[in-house]
A and B are shown apart, each in its own frame.
Chain A
């Protein structure tokens, strides 16, 4: 006897050419959260005005599930996956949006209050999922770069196989040539080769994905002097990396906020970033 089993996904009989479509729209598509201090709870919308907007173009009300996930596979160069996606969450895990209307996803962040979580550059995926009402669903992953507060006096090695301390240098003036020191860490159990490049030299990277709002990209990578050669850091050791500003002290360069992002990479494919700012 042949048994029939209920695999019913939806009762509607459909023909692809005639079948209705459903869609999902979310903005912005990507953003950076800067200066997150470990231990502090942040309501990203209250503090910055940034939230996810969910557009329901359909005629009827629809529910959306909101969650945060780790990024698997290839990462944006310079960033590692956030160690625990539960450090970020939506204020409401489900949002109902009326037909032909918009709704919002409000994001909160709290990184554990540990010294090692300063100077980090992480990626988290903020996921909005909508269903057609049947069982076919769509989801959109908004990639968020989370950068923790820069701090050069940290009581322990920063977290991560590759790490830097601090992850931001700020030169308040174009005058002077004061050298600053970054410590680059190899927290792995084997030696690794490292090299540092300027974002401005990298045709494979989209500058807009890295630069801070209101900062202009430095006009040339030559405004920063540093070791361009590859170097080795032994297992579980760190190395000083010197950066010297070489920006010409001209009036036209003053009063403007300049930024470059130095990409630190290793022979095993990991990478980190150092933001360098003038003014």
Chain B
């Protein structure tokens, strides 16, 4: 009886060793980390103070620097509509424009490529300019702040 038990255990171990897939349950998921690294991105400065401006005013370009970590990274940029319902687009009634200098872009609410492949530990400089709407129907006291988002992701 004891010998049978030993034989059974040896058989089990052999199956486990030679056929590891048999142990994976039918519905068990597994993961493979294909890039075991830390994605890292930094941005300076971390604020953009436009302040109170007149209609049709255009600010000077303000320079920002995005720095990536130890992986070559694609950087994209997008912005949002104003908090008080001004739209991001071209200059118009209740519509403001955000211009990027290099690469030349007009920001939208969808991601656009800032840098297709920023080398690891490299910086990418870019400048933003704000164009006020030509007219306003919502009121001068309505705050129209907006978000700008720089997104890091895998190089295509």
Which residue numbers of A lie inside 8 Å of B, CB to CB? 2-16, 19-37, 40, 42, 44, 47-50, 55, 72-74, 76, 109, 125, 127, 129, 131-143, 145, 149, 170, 172, 208-213, 255, 257, 277, 279
Contacts of A55 in B (CB 8 A): 38
Jot down 6 A-B pairs with beta carbons below 8 A, ordered by A.
Answer: A6-B142, A11-B49, A48-B31, A50-B31, A135-B147, A140-B152
Least Cβ–Cβ distance between A68 and chain B, in angstroms: 13
Contact A134 B48 (CB under 8 A): yes
Contact A23 B34 (CB under 8 A): no
- Is B122 positioned at the interface, with any CB of A under 8 Å from its CB? no
Contact with A along B46-82 (1 / 0, CB 8 A): 1111111111000000111101010100000000001
Closest chain B residue to A4 by CB distance? B52
Contact A6 B144 (CB under 8 A): yes
Contacts of B156 in A (CB 8 A): 73-74
A211 to B34, CA, bound (A): 8
Least Cβ–Cβ distance between A24 and chain B, in angstroms: 6
Contact A16 B41 (CB under 8 A): no
Residues 14-28 of B at the A interface (beta carbon under 8 Å): 17-21, 24, 26-28
Least Cβ–Cβ distance between B138 and chain A, in angstroms: 9
Q: What would 4 more interface pairs be, CB under 8 Å, given A12-B47, A31-B35, A279-B19?
A: A7-B96, A8-B51, A16-B65, A32-B32
Known A31-B34, A137-B147, A138-B152: A14·B53 in contact at CB below 8 Å = no
Contacts of B29 in A (CB 8 A): 33-36, 42, 44, 47-48, 109
Our pick among B28, B42, B143 for the contact of A6 (Cβ within 8 Å) is B143
Contacts of A211 in B (CB 8 A): 32, 34
Q: Chain B interface residue count: which class?
A: 35 or more
Contact B34 A135 (CB under 8 A): no
Closest chain B residue to A5 by CB distance? B140
Contact B53 A213 (CB under 8 A): no
- Is B153 positioned at the interface, with any CB of A under 8 Å from its CB? yes
Contact B28 A35 (CB under 8 A): yes
Known A3-B55, A34-B32, A257-B20: A10·B49 in contact at CB below 8 Å = yes
Known A5-B55, A19-B47, A134-B46: A210·B31 in contact at CB below 8 Å = no
A38 to B21, CA, bound (A): 20
Give the tally of cross-chain contacts (CB within 8 A). 238
Least Cβ–Cβ distance between B46 and chain A, in angstroms: 4
A20 to B59, CA, bound (A): 21
Nearest first, the 3 closest Cβ-Cβ pairs linking A and B are: A19-B45, A21-B44, A132-B46
Contact A33 B31 (CB under 8 A): yes
Known A27-B36, A48-B29, A145-B34: A22·B50 in contact at CB below 8 Å = no
Contact B153 A132 (CB under 8 A): no
Contact B46 A21 (CB under 8 A): yes
Known A27-B37, A28-B37: A136·B140 in contact at CB below 8 Å = no
Contacts of B142 in A (CB 8 A): 5-6
Our pick among A16, A42, A145 for the contact of B45 (Cβ within 8 Å) is A16
Contact B34 A30 (CB under 8 A): yes
Contact A172 B19 (CB under 8 A): yes
A9 to B24, CA, bound (A): 53
A5 to B153, CA, bound (A): 35
- Is B104 positioned at the interface, with any CB of A under 8 Å from its CB? no
Contact B47 A139 (CB under 8 A): no
Closest chain B residue to A133 by CB distance? B46
A140 to B130, CA, bound (A): 25
A48 to B40, CA, bound (A): 24
Contact A7 B132 (CB under 8 A): yes
A271 to B60, CA, bound (A): 46
Contact A141 B136 (CB under 8 A): no
Contacts of A32 in B (CB 8 A): 31-32, 34
Known A5-B52, A212-B32: A21·B148 in contact at CB below 8 Å = no
Least Cβ–Cβ distance between A145 and chain B, in angstroms: 7
Contacts of A29 in B (CB 8 A): 35-39, 71, 154
